[in-house]
Structure formats: structure tokens, C-alpha cells
């Protein structure tokens, strides 16, 4: 059994309060192990980003975490619940333990400050006593790490290309050598070639530095290649979780199957690109039973009345689907 | 740098255009300033005197418009704005020189204070949105919609009168000679408090509103979330990330407000009989004092242009995206 680093237990996140509240993340359980890349995939609106922001307490209002716990296991063996940590402790833990690379590389950098200022201020916030010169050296080192010439250190964000900005964000995320890096669609705004380069850089860096990654994307093909384990989200729930090779070969949930069929495989026999008919449900008026059943090609009678629970169906695999009865623990 | 030079060239062109319009407009409006002056003197003038008045005011009928225009430009360059009718025979430059310090002192200081107070308060209120601070918004909306001269009238009605600390009119005690002694400065401050207060109250609310709204917008920008995620201290996120960016539109608003210092608070000066440029402008309109009007318009135009130039420079300093690399 690998060492656990982050445990999400029964996390519920919603937007708004009271009767009009929308439950965007429902009873999610996730575990991130040390040195692992955990992929989180799903359509737009499936709650993957909300999950990431919710568990790091970065969700802007009206988003609220309504329940659950997020246990972070520190290096010394003790654990803290991120959701109940006092603000000052949370601030200390942020970035030094859990760093985040955000969706919009373009907007993640403060437009009126130099790259150097933004790289240095995170160093300054977490180790105020380091001399200025050492911080500058570290900033330069970080840029080199992600393959940006150090003479760019004093550039403003608008002077860099989209790919370079995302590299800067990755450099920034690694500034304090965090143990967990959450990546929220880090390559969405970039073209395919740059996407590749960035991912390559990420893979290399992860091998060298050994941090764990939560990788959020709607691009399952990317995950299959890049991650160790994949959790598929649908309408705020995790519907399937498996090793990426297993998931790719034999998806159990019809939704995972649909996702995998919506992009062409590079190897293997030809097959039809099917896609998934319909669109994700409105979170305010969720279907009864399994949220996926109106779109499911293999729906059973039971699907529209009872919600399947996520459970182990076979070795190392969890799925929430009536097609695969699980031994409820 | 070349960008700034280009802007400077543009401003020079605008100044020339303003000066030219300033020359032609009074000549196009109906009415004859000399006739107005003659009426004022009840016709007790010889025809020689009338002719010399025309020459004096640069309205010599024997001269062509072009030569009038060039002698006008030449006079301007020498700082000669002509003679005022109302304060005859004082030159306009002297009259404006008397009024300008009062206006700049009163309105200038209150505009600057109002901007800084309002922007700071707006930043805090915007940052703490969703808390008690939001209850300030309806109040500021209400206050900012009150015309300040009306506020001034109310203030005069309620706070001044016999035995009150606040004088109802003027800029200093009648009988004092303007100089830099404590008695005079004290009297100036005492007279300035009420008009300053009325301007401040309404202008601060405007700044609070606009800054607050920008803060709310900027606070949901990604880089602010990133700053939070980086574990930066709350103060730094608020000042260096949110407020620093929210400030930009307010700065251009501030520069415009600076430009309107000279002409913008005419009504406050009238209400408080404050001897500034606004009151002079009001008197000049009443007396058909064309040279004074022209002079004041020129000062207003120049100050608006100067303020715009300041805004350009401030923007260059504050927003790196406006700087063009050579």
C-alpha cells in the first residue's frame, strides 16, 4: 500500500444556500497517494474544478463547502483537515504543501507586476528572512527549471506568450517544493504543440522532484497517457475510479465508455467515434436515481429510481453503476 | 519615450485648436462688448474714446481678422489676456491671478483628498463585500446623487448664522489683508471648511462607488485567486493584486476630475460667494465681460489638457501594458 498524502472524505460543495442551492459536488471520496498522478476527468460542469477549489478553500462566493473533510497528511505523519484549519495555518500550508496551476494561464498572472515580483513574493511570504539576493537566485533557477531564459525574469506578463506564461505558473507552483500540485486544465488555452511541450516538462519535473499531482481535465486521452489513476466525474459525483490502463482497456461505467469513445485511438483497431448523446443534467433539477440514466445506452429499470453507490467491483476498481453490482463495504 | 513625445505633440495641437476657437467664438456670438461698456458708462463717451476702446480690446474694425488673430496669439504668448470690463481697468491676467489660487486651494485640495479617501474606502468596502460594509453602498449612492451646491445651501441654512463658527460666505474675514500670518490662514481655513465639506461629501461617495465596483470585479479575477492560493498575507493580496488593478480606471477618472477643478465647482463658489474662478466666471457672464470669459475658458481648457497629460503619465507609470517598447 502506498503512502497516502491527501484524503477527501464525503466532500459536498454547493453554490448558494437554502432551497436554491446547487449541489455541484456530491459525497466525493478521493485519495491521492505519494508520487502519484491522479486524473480527474469529466464534461464541463461535472464539478471537477469546483472540487479542486472546494478542497483547497479557494472557492469564491457564492460557493460553499457544505460538508466532508479533506485530510492532508503532513510529512511528520500527522494529519490536518484543510476545511477546518485556522486561516493563518492554512495560509502557511498553501503553496508550501499544496500548489495549484490554474485554468487560465493568461489571467493567472497579475498584469501590472513583473514576473520576478510575483515569483519572489511567494518566497517572501513563506520565508520572510531569506536575503533578497537568494530569492532572486531562486526565481532564476525556477525559470530555468521550466525552460525559460532567465533574462525574462523582469518581463511583464503581457510580454510573454501563452505557453511561456503557463510555464511561469508551473515554475511558480514549484517555488516552495510542494508535495501536491493541483493542475486545473493547465493546458486548455494552449495549442496542441505547446500543450505537448508543457506536459513533457511536467512529466520530467515530476520524475525529478517527486510531487503528487491532481490533474483536472476534460481531455481523457491526455489523462490516459499522463496519469496513474483516473477518477471520472459526472454531475458532481465520482462514477468510476481505476488505474488508467485498466480504465482505458475496460471502462466499466457507460459514461467512461462514452468518454473514451469520443476521441480516436492512435493505436489498435479502428472504431466508431460515438460521443455521448444528450448533455449533462441541470444541477438544480437532477434526474432521480443515477444521474446518467437519461443518457445511458444501457440503462436498467432500477437506474431511474435508485442511486448506485461507488464501491469496489473488482480488484483496485470502483464504479457506481447498477450494471456492476458492488460489495457495499 | 517616443510615445510620450507623440502625446505631447497631440496636446500642443489641441492647445492651438482651443486657443483658436477661443478667439473666434466670442466674435461670432451676437452683441458688441464695446457697446456693452458704453451702455454701462451711460453713453458718456466721445467717439474718440469709443474708437480707442475698440483698439484696446483688439476689435479694431480697420484691421483684418487675420491680423487680429495674430496679434491675439502674440499677446497670449506674452501672457496678455486683455482688459476686463467688470474689473476695468485691471488686466484679465491679474483678475484670474486673484481668483485662481482660491479655486485651486479649495477645490484642488478637496478633489485630491476626496479621491484618496474615497478610493481607499472603496477598496476596503469592495474587498469586504458580502459583509456589513455593503450596507454603505445605498448610502453612498444616495449621497453621490445629491448635487453639491444643494448640499451647500442646506449647510448654509443649517450651520451658519449669527454666532455660528461657520461663516456663510467669502474666503476670509472682511478687513484682513491676505498674507501668510496665522490669523489670516486660520480665517481662510474657517471659511473654507463648509464649502470643502460639501464638495468632499459628494465626491468621496462617487470614488467609493467606482472603486468598490472595480474591486468586486477584480477580486474574482484569476490572479487574485492565485495570490490567495500562494498563501500571501491578506493585506498583500488586497493591495498589490486587487486594489492595484482596480485602481487603474479610477486614476483616469481622477485626472479628469483634476481638469474640472477650475471650472467644475462654479455653483459651490456661487453658493458660498467664494472669490474663486467660478464666481468670476459667473460675474463675467452676467456682465458680458468677453475678455474675462475668454481668459477663464482658456484656463479651463488648459487645465483639462494638463490633467489629461497627467493621466497619460500616471497610466504609463501604473500600467505596464500601455508602455510601448522601442
Nearest CA in chain A to B219: A60
Neighboring chain A residues of B325 at a CB cutoff of 8 Å: 159
Inter-chain touch B230–A172, beta carbons under 8 Å: yes
Annotated domain spans of chain A: 4-97+178-319
How do residues A43-76 score in pLDDT, each as one tens digit? 888 888 889 888 888 888 788 888 888 999 888 8
Give the pLDDT of residue B326. Answer: 38
Pick among 3.40.50.150, 2.60.40.2310, 2.60.120.10, 1.10.3720.10: CATH of B94-288: 1.10.3720.10
Give the pLDDT of residue A327. Answer: 59
A208 burial type by CB count under 10 A (0-12 exposed, 13-18 middle, 19+ buried): exposed
Neighboring chain B residues of A92 at a CB cutoff of 8 Å: 231
| Lowest model confidence (mean pLDDT) among A38-52, A131-145, B158-172, B180-194 | B158-172
Nearest CA in chain A to B221: A107
Partner-chain residue, chosen from A107, A110, A125, that has the shortest CB–CB distance to B241: A110
CA of B233 vs chain A CAs: smallest distance (Å)? 7
Q: Which fold has domain A4-97+178-319?
A: Rossmann fold (3.40.50)
Give the pLDDT of residue B60. Answer: 67
Annotated domain spans of chain B: 94-288
Cα separation of B241 and B219, whole Å? 9
Total beta-carbon pairs less than 8 A apart between chain A and chain B: 80
What mean pLDDT comes out for the span B206-211? 91
Inter-chain touch A113–B240, beta carbons under 8 Å: yes
Q: Kindly give the residue spans of alpha helices, DSSP state H, lying in chain A.
A: 48-55, 87-93, 115-126, 132-145, 162-173, 192-209, 220-226, 244-249, 254-261
Inter-chain touch B231–A125, beta carbons under 8 Å: yes
Q: What is the DSSP string of B213-245?
A: HHHHHHHTSHHHHHHHHTT--HHHIIIIIIIHH
Q: Which helix (H) or strand (E) holds B143?
A: helix B136-144
User: In the predicted model, what is the mean pLDDT of chain B?
Assistant: 83
Q: How many residues are listed for chain B in this entry?
A: 326
Q: Which of A43, A112, A57 is nearest to A87 (CA)?
A: A57
* Residue A3: φ, ψ to 5°: -70, 130
Partner-chain residue, chosen from A92, A113, A158, that has the shortest CB–CB distance to B231: A92
Residue B211, pLDDT > 90, answer yes
Inter-chain touch A108–B222, beta carbons under 8 Å: yes
CA of B255 vs chain A CAs: smallest distance (Å)? 20
Residue B207 contacts A, CB cutoff 8 Å: no
Give the pLDDT of residue A265. Answer: 67
Top pLDDT among B32 and A280 is at A280
Helix (H, G, I), strand (E, B) or coil at A101: strand
- Residues of A in CB contact (< 8 Å) with B are 56, 58, 60-61, 90-96, 99-100, 102-104, 107-114, 121-122, 125-126, 156, 158-159, 169, 172
Helix (H, G, I), strand (E, B) or coil at B209: helix
N-term to C-term CA, chain B:
8
C-alpha cell at B217: 470585479
Give the pLDDT of residue A324. Answer: 79
All residue ranges of chain A with pLDDT < 50 are 329
Testing the interface with B: which of A102, A106, A115, A121 to mutate, by most B Cβ within 10 A? A121
Neighboring chain B residues of A94 at a CB cutoff of 8 Å: 228-231
CA of B12 vs chain A CAs: smallest distance (Å)? 30
Inter-chain touch B225–A125, beta carbons under 8 Å: no
Neighboring chain A residues of B223 at a CB cutoff of 8 Å: 107-111
CA of B119 vs chain A CAs: smallest distance (Å)? 18
What mean pLDDT comes out for the span B18-33? 78
B166 burial type by CB count under 10 A (0-12 exposed, 13-18 middle, 19+ buried): middle
Percentage of chain B exceeding pLDDT 90 = 10
Residue B130 contacts A, CB cutoff 8 Å: yes
Q: Which helix (H) or strand (E) holds A240?
A: strand A237-243
Neighboring chain B residues of A102 at a CB cutoff of 8 Å: 222, 225-226, 229
C-alpha cell at A303: 437506474
Task: Compute CA distances A181 → A110, A170, A207, A235, B44, whole Å.
Answer: 20, 9, 13, 24, 93
Inter-chain touch B223–A93, beta carbons under 8 Å: no
Sign of CA dihedral A163, A120, A54, A157: negative
Give the pLDDT of residue B133. Answer: 79
Give the pLDDT of residue B80. Answer: 81
Sign of CA dihedral B89, B92, B93, B99: positive
Residue B221, pLDDT > 50, answer yes
CB burial of A90-113 (b: ≥16 within 10 Å; e: otherwise) equals bbebbbbbbbbbbbbbbbbbbbbb
How far out from the chain centre does Cα A202 lie? Answer: 14
How do residues A166-216 score in pLDDT, each as one tens digit? 889 888 988 888 999 998 888 777 778 878 888 888 888 888 888 999 999
Amino acid at each position: 500500500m502506498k503512502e497516502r498524502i491527501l484524503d477527501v472524505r464525503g466532500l459536498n460543495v454547493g453554490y448558494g444556500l437554502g432551497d436554491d442551492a446547487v449541489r455541484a459536488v456530491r459525497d466525493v471520496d478521493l485519495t491521492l497517494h505519494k508520487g502519484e498522478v491522479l486524473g480527474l476527468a469529466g464534461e464541463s460542469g461535472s464539478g471537477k474544478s469546483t472540487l479542486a477549489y472546494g478542497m483547497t478553500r479557494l472557492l469564491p462566493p457564492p460557493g460553499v463547502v457544505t460538508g466532508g473533510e479533506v485530510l492532508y497528511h503532513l510529512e511528520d505523519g500527522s494529519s490536518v483537515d484543510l476545511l477546518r484549519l485556522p486561516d493563518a495555518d492554512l495560509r502557511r500550508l498553501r503553496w508550501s504543501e499544496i500548489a495549484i496551476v490554474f485554468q487560465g494561464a493568461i489571467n493567472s498572472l497579475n498584469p501590472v507586476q513583473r514576473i520576478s515580483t510575483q515569483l519572489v513574493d511567494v518566497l517572501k511570504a513563506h520565508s520572510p528572512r531569506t536575503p533578497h539576493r537568494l530569492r532572486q537566485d531562486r526565481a532564476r533557477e525556477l525559470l530555468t527549471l521550466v525552460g525559460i531564459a532567465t533574462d525574462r525574469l523582469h518581463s511583464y506578463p503581457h510580454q510573454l506568450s501563452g505557453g511561456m506564461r503557463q510555464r511561469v505558473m508551473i515554475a511558480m507552483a514549484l517555488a516552495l517544493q510542494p508535495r501536491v500540485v493541483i493542475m486545473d486544465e493547465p493546458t486548455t488555452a494552449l495549442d496542441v504543440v505547446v500543450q505537448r511541450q508543457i506536459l513533457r516538462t511536467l512529466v520530467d519535473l515530476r520524475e525529478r522532484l517527486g510531487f503528487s499531482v491532481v490533474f483536472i481535465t476534460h481531455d481523457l486521452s491526455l489523462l490516459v497517457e499522463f496519469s496513474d489513476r483516473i477518477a471520472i466525474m459526472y454531475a458532481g459525483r465520482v462514477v468510476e475510479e481505476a488505474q488508467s490502463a485498466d480504465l482505458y482497456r475496460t471502462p466499466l461505467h457507460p459514461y467512461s465508455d462514452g468518454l473514451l469513445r469520443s476521441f480516436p485511438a492512435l493505436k489498435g483497431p479502428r472504431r466508431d467515434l460515438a460521443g455521448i448523446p444528450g448533455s449533462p443534467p441541470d444541477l438544480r433539477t437532477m434526474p432521480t436515481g443515477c444521474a446518467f440514466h437519461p443518457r445511458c445506452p444501457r440503462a436498467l429499470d432500477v437506474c431511474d429510481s435508485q442511486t448506485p453507490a461507488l464501491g469496489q467491483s473488482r480488484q483496485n476498481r470502483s464504479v457506481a453503476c447498477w450494471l456492476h453490482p458492488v460489495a457495499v463495504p | 519615450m517616443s510615445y510620450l513625445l507623440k502625446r505631447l505633440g497631440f496636446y500642443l495641437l489641441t492647445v492651438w485648436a482651443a486657443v483658436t476657437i477661443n478667439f473666434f467664438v466670442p466674435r461670432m456670438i451676437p452683441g458688441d462688448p464695446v457697446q456693452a461698456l458704453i451702455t454701462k458708462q451711460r453713453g458718456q463717451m466721445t467717439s474718440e474714446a469709443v474708437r480707442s476702446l475698440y483698439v484696446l480690446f483688439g476689435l479694431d474694425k480697420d484691421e483684418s481678422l487675420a491680423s487680429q488673430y495674430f496679434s491675439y496669439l502674440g499677446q497670449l504668448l506674452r501672457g496678455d489676456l486683455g482688459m476686463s470690463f467688470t474689473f476695468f481697468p485691471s488686466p484679465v491676467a491679474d483678475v484670474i491671478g486673484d481668483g485662481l489660487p482660491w479655486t485651486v486651494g479649495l477645490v484642488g485640495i478637496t478633489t485630491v483628498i476626496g479621491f484618496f479617501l474615497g478610493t481607499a474606502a472603496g477598496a476596503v468596502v469592495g474587498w469586504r463585500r458580502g459583509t456589513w460594509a455593503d450596507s454603505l453602498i445605498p448610502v453612498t449612492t444616495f449621497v453621490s446623487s445629491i448635487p453639491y451646491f444643494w448640499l451647500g445651501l442646506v449647510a448654509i441654512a443649517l450651520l451658519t448664522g449669527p454666532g455660528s463658527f461657520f461663516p456663510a460666505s467669502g474666503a476670509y474675514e472682511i478687513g484682513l489683508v491676505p498674507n501668510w500670518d496665522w490669523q489670516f490662514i486660520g480665517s481662510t481655513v474657517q471659511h473654507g471648511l463648509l464649502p470643502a465639506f460639501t464638495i468632499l461629501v459628494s465626491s468621496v461617495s462617487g470614488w467609493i462607488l467606482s472603486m468598490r465596483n472595480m474591486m468586486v470585479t477584480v477580486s474574482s479575477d484569476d490572479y487574485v485567486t492565485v495570490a490567495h492560493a500562494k498563501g500571501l498575507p491578506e493585506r498583500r493580496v488586497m493591495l498589490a493584486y486587487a486594489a492595484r488593478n482596480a485602481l487603474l480606471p479610477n486614476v483616469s477618472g481622477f485626472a479628469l476630475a483634476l481638469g474640472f477643478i477650475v471650472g467644475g465647482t462654479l455653483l459651490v463658489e456661487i453658493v458660498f460667494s467664494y472669490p474663486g474662478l467660478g464666481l468670476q466666471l459667473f460675474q463675467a457672464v452676467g456682465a458680458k465681460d468677453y475678455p474675462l470669459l475668454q481668459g477663464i475658458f482658456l484656463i479651463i481648457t488648459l487645465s483639462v489638457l494638463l490633467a489629461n497629460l497627467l493621466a497619460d503619465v500616471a497610466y504609463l507609470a501604473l500600467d505596464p501594458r500601455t508602455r510601448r517598447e522601442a
